[in-house]
Amino acid sequence: MCRESIERVRVAIDQLSSEDREILLLRYVEQLSTRETADILDLSVPAAKTRLFRAVQRLHRRLTSGGAPQAQRSAASSGKAHS
């Protein structure tokens, strides 16, 4: 992944709700199983799967529709985005 793409994904994830960010990070960054993710979030496995599916959908929409507001895209591309 090129640096610009990584930054685009980071900005899109930052714009998600805390619930969406949390489940995406547990599942894909921490690489926990769905069961482990559900246990940590105090959810049933079906509820965790649904939440994860919806979070992935929202992230996908942000990435494919240019969901980051123009000001944040400009700041990110100029290297001025905050961490």
CATH number of residue 61's parent domain? 1.10.10.10
What is d(CA 77, CA 83) in angstroms, rounded to the nearest whole number?
Answer: 13
Q: Is residue 83, in this structure, part of any structural domain at all? A: no
Tokens of 61: 């929409």
Q: Is residue 14, in this structure, part of any structural domain at all? A: yes
Amino acid at 19: E
Q: Is residue 62, in this structure, part of any structural domain at all? A: yes
pLDDT tops 60 at residue 80: no
Q: Is residue 82, in this structure, part of any structural domain at all? A: no
**Number of neighbours of residue 55 by Cβ within 10 angstroms:** 22
* pLDDT computed for residue 68 by the predictor: 53
Q: pLDDT tens digit string along 26-52?
A: 999 999 999 999 999 999 999 999 999
Tell me the residue range of the domain where 40 lies. Answer: 3-77
Confidence grade of residue 5 (pLDDT, cut at 50, 70, 90): confident
Tokens of 47: 């509820």
